[in-house]
Amino acid sequence: MTISMYQASIPVSIRTLNNLVSILQKGATYAETKKIDPSVLINSRLSPDMFPLSKQMQIASDIVNRGAARLAGIEPLQFEDNETTFPQLIDRIHQTISHLNTFKPEQIDGSEERTITLKIGSNSLDFQGMQFLLYFVLPNLYFHVTTAYDILRHCGVELGKQDFLGQP
């Protein structure tokens, strides 16, 4: 049995983002219950040279949005990166999930060898579609979702491994 590019990208990303929504909701509930200004959690970071929670969410959203669009050969959905509250961050993730749900297998399948060039500053990275998905998009998605989880866990939000993995 083989797995298609669509199966390896869209459902996996949607599941991870749904788990992220649950993690963010727990963060919002924690802030409310403990009477902590939510902006404290949203602006928290693990290290001074790392992005805060809000930016981790924006990057997680962007990486799958742009990744799916590049695999499909279309323009990605654009966000302003101006979310400052838990409801705004959760809404952005929901918008990303809704957008991912618009992709059809025939848009993504067959992109295994599509050349994808990323401009990063003055440099560019070239990938074939499958390598782009497996070695760039998914690792970045997991990195930023894990970092968001770690930030909230470090701040005292009661999260466990199952929150990250979600329900089967």
- What is the pLDDT tens value at each position of the chain, 168 positions in all? 789 999 999 999 999 999 999 999 999 999 999 999 999 999 999 999 999 999 999 999 999 999 999 999 999 989 999 999 999 999 999 999 999 999 999 999 999 999 999 888 899 999 999 999 999 999 999 999 999 999 999 999 999 999 999 977
The whole model's pTM is what?
Answer: 0.94
DSSP 75: P
141: which residues sit within 8 A by CB, 6+ positions away?
13, 16, 60, 63, 64, 67
Query: Which pLDDT belongs to residue 120?
Result: 85
Query: Which pLDDT belongs to residue 78?
Result: 92
